[in-house]
Amino acid sequence: MIINISILGSTGSIGKSLINILKFKKKEIKINLLTCHQNYNELFRQAKIFNVKNLIITDSKIFSFIKSKKKYSKYNIQNNFDNLKKIFKKKNDYVMSSISGLDGLLPTFNIIKHTKKIAIANKETIICAWNLIDIELKKNKTQFVPVDSEHFSAYFAINKNHISEIKNIILTASGGPFLNRPLDKFNTIDLQETLNHPNWSMGKKISVDSATMMNKVFEIIEAKKIFNLPYNKLSILIQPDSYIHALVNFNNGLTKVIIHKTDMKIPIINTIFSNDTLLQKKIIKNYDLDLKKINNPKFQVIDSFRYPLVNIIKLLPNKCSLFETIIVVSNDELVRLFLNDQISFKDIEILLLKIVKSKQFAKYKKKSVNKIDDILILNKYIKDYINSKLFK
Ligand code: NDP
Ligand code: MG
């Protein structure tokens, strides 16, 4: 049977990993839709390999340029996600949601009704809009599977157990590039050092978030939403080589620990082909257990002096609220300013804590997320606020 697949953000790191996996399964799949923002060269390369007709290019200038070229006229190319109904004659079997940032929110929400299963990598969607996503999943009987390695590991460990059987979940963090940096040398951190992640090869934004530990704060929020657990049942433990991804403690005294090589292909493969002998032979066979790493996990408790942003976890409301959007957007904007060399590494931490602790924004903890637009309007407001008020 042919598996119908679509990939939102197919030209990114997660999207390309999935594409590389699918190359082994070409005869058994059909790709209905691929999307990018600007990287049309990669998009057309992928479209050619898999004979994909429907493409979305969200950058308007690039879209107009492509539309003016005759050689691309055989493709059905759109500039946005408004016409999904026309693209999909029947439901996809599987969609990967791997657009980066809040721009992935609306496409992810809109595609749920067009798929039987959705794997969501886009953190922002889960963090800011989980209550709406969850309703849409249930309404359309769409199965959800997490992609982030820690969450996929916990999901795999929990399997058919009921949430009430879980005592707590521990997500591991590598500690990033500054795990051993003397605390008095944090003021001199530069961009290059920040992007130099010891274990994972990732985009710039998520690399900065790993260095500040904000990525793990986001992952705690993601876990809270996905597994429907209170924050006091979720915690972080440093495991420097990122070999162990999650530990799930059950009330019966047993703990499941999920270990795998630091390669996103493992969770990605398992979100779609969990027992595939071909992929096991072609890709997974290279992932033998590394005894040196298991014998020496070097777990460490997280130090909030080194990673002050973990204090944000204490401020989080247990109910889904617009406060999560404030955190995501503020961090996004501050990381962008850091990447543009407009603020220092330390400023990200100082300014983010200032924003999330301010009375002005605390009221959003009580504001529920009623529609996607609530998030998108707040997104614009916070960005304007940071760029106008905070710097003038
Ligand atoms: P990348 O930046 O590598 O790729 C992002 C993808 O989204 C690209 O296809 C990009 O297109 C597209 N895109 C970017 N901006 C827009 C926009 N405004 N509108 C529509 N599409 C857009 O990201 P990653 O693959 O690293 O991550 C994707 C998501 O998965 C993120 O939310 C990340 O936090 C999460 N994640 C990533 C992990 C990783 O290891 N990489 C691990 C766990 C989660 P183009 O190429 O044209 O720019
Ligand atoms: Mg992760």
Q: Which of 45, 98, 120 to mutate to test the pocket of ligand 1 (most atoms within 8 A of CB)?
A: 98
Q: Which residue has the tokens 């804590």?
A: 353
Q: Is the distance from CB of 127 to CB of 222 less than 8 angstroms?
A: yes
Contacts of 101 (CB under 8 A, 6+ apart): 122, 124, 205, 332
Give strand pairing partners of 144. 118
Interatomic CA distance for residues 193 and 196, integer angstroms: 5
171, 154 Cβ separation under 8 angstroms: yes
Give the pLDDT confidence score for residue 287 in this predicted structure.
83
pLDDT of residue 392: 56
CB neighbour list of residue 292: distance below 8 Å, 6 or more residues apart: none
Neighbours of 263 (CB within 10 A): 17
pLDDT at position 202, please? 77
Nearest to 163 by CA among 50, 248, 93, 247: 248
Q: Which two tokens stand for residue 373?
A: 């637009």
Ligand 1 site-directed mutation target among 77, 79, 99, 222, most atoms within 8 Å of CB: 99
Which residue has 């976890």 as its token pair?
313
148 Cα distance to chain centroid: 6
Res 288: pLDDT: 84
User: Across the strands, what pairs with 4?
Assistant: 30
Tens-binned pLDDT, residue by residue, of the chain (392 aa): 899 999 999 999 999 999 999 999 999 999 999 999 999 999 999 999 999 999 999 999 999 999 999 999 999 999 999 999 999 999 999 999 999 999 999 999 999 999 999 999 999 999 999 999 999 999 999 999 999 999 999 999 999 999 999 999 999 999 999 999 999 999 999 999 999 877 877 788 999 999 999 999 999 999 999 999 999 999 999 999 999 999 999 999 999 999 999 999 999 999 999 889 999 999 988 788 899 999 999 999 999 999 999 999 999 999 999 999 999 999 999 999 999 999 999 999 999 999 999 999 999 999 999 999 999 999 999 999 998 876 65
Find where tokens 């691929």 sit. Answer: 34
Residue listed under structure tokens 């058994």: 28
The identity of residue 318, as a single letter, is N
Cα dihedral sign, 138-142-143-144: negative
**Alpha helices (H) in the chain, listed in sequence order:** 13-22, 40-50, 60-67, 84-87, 105-111, 123-139, 149-158, 191-195, 204-212, 214-227, 265-272, 277-282, 291-294, 323-339, 345-357, 359-362, 372-388
Ligand with smallest separation from the Cα of 245: 2
Which residues have C-beta within 8 Å of that of residue 95, sequence separation ≥ 6?
5, 6, 7, 8, 111, 114, 115, 117, 118, 119
Q: Measure the CA–CA gap between 14 and 83, rounded to whole angstroms.
A: 24
Alpha helices in 228-322 (DSSP H): 265-272, 277-282, 291-294
Specify whether the backbone of 81 is left (phi greater than 0), alpha (psi in -120 to 50) or beta.
alpha
Distance 390 CA to ligand 2 centre (A): 30
Please give the Cα distance from 71 to 68 (Å, whole number).
Answer: 9
C-alpha–C-alpha distance, residues 232 and 242, integer Å? 23
Protein residues with CB under 6 Å of any ligand 1 atom: 9-15, 36-39, 58, 98-100, 103, 121-124, 148, 200, 202-203, 206, 264
| CA nearest neighbour of 2 among 93, 105, 74, 134 | 93
Rounded distance from Cα 380 to ligand 1 centre (Å):
20
Residue 391 confidence (pLDDT): 62
